[in-house]
Structure 1
Amino acid sequence: MSIPTPLVVPALKRHTATVIVAHGLGDSGAGWMFLAENWRRRNKFDEVSFIFPSAPSIPVTINMGMRMPGWYDILSLSDINQRSEDEAGIKRSMEYFHGLIKQEMDKGIPSNRIVIGGFSQGGAMSLLSGVTSPNKLGGIFGLSCYLLLQNKIREMVPEDNPNKDTPIFMGHGDADPVVRYDWGQRTAGKLQEWGWKVDFKTYQGLPHSADPEEIEDLEAYLRSRIPPLGDKEETSGSL
């Protein structure tokens, strides 16, 4: 199964941080490049390289087996506590995202200056890949998403749980007809119950999409997690 080469918006100044943004089912990395383009126009995050990976084309069960870009197969739209999951596909994509993080570290970016996040299916993958990462990350975010492998996820977390104190940002519209709002609420609640620090924000009337208010909140979150360093060197975090 071939995964397309990610799209990259390079840092304009000295590269000190990286943000990985994963798209949802049926989309591509190009569909989320507007984030970087918006911030570039406003001279935000000039030290950040943005990576927009694209999922491979796979048969998707809920779409009658039609092929489309997806990080894993979706077998049903039943409740997240009861649904069957494509565990093999989920774990394969998790390893891919762990590999993207490692590639950035190999370029000299400290792990605590790397943020992973995404929307819908990409957000679900980012939450899983973030909390199971063997490296201390700068941040983890998920928009309009839910928890994968919830009965196994704690077994997949490294013993030292390097991201137990990494703040997680979640946003969800309360009018989402695709990924139900209560799925997002329950995901945040479950992660908090297990000890992670989650900031869950609700966007009134928002369907299965992102809006300017949510993007502003995401921008504030990223500013807090990967502030510009200028000429300073960052020495903490894994290398």
Structure 2
Amino acid sequence: MYGASAVDAYDRIAARAQDLREIYQAGAVPAHDDVAAEPQIEPSSDPLSVALPPGAWLVTRGADGARAYQRDGALRFDDGVLRTRDGADVLGYPRGDARGALPVPLRLPAADVALSRTADTRIAADGTVAYTRAAIDPRTGERSVERVAIGRIALARFPAGTHPPRVDATHVAAPPGVVPHLGTPADGTFPGLAPFSRESGAIDVDAGIERLDEAYRQFQALGAAARTRANVDKTTLDLLK
């Protein structure tokens, strides 16, 4: 019994320490609600880095095809596809409207990627992902520049009171039977994004240290109780000899 209790106590210490290790990880989802804090927004020079409004999640698709939700808005293009820091596809709406549409990966046109005509990619406050296409007319030699939008990023929000299960440090899943509301930034149901911004960790340092200290003290108390029990058992055996 004491062995199992000691393992449980050690697991609590490890879980509390994990929250503290993720303090400064963008989009981190704490394992324990009692150390959660409002995320801090910091400026960024990256035009593909955005901060999400409170309660909103990016809709992503992993290599296994599974949908997940995260708040880390440090995005990038990889092979012409808009992806998260960890390589998941960012889903959105190529036509810009979420009504009656399913979110799909947002991609740059293959021809423009092949011809290196996708300069100045950036994300606007309304979630529009766009780039500058430069072209030269082969007959006249005249140069033209146009702004091309490939779609708008999808956002998800879970019903009030929903606690989406944590997949890992930065991802959550939809609870069984729960369908999140999907939309786009600044569509009347979601606020806009904060471009050129990044979200720092959403974990309260002081609360995290306090909870870790509590876990350590519980472990020490358990150890003291086990030692006391061992001494009593030894004394009892000595008396029976």
TM exceeding 0.5: no
Q: TM-score range by the shorter chain?
A: under 0.3
After TM superposition, the score normalised by the length of structure 2 is: 0.24
- Whichever structure has more helix as a proportion of its residues is 1
After TM superposition, the score normalised by the length of structure 1 is: 0.24
- Whichever structure has more strand as a proportion of its residues is 2
Q: Higher Cα Rg: structure 1 or 2?
A: 2
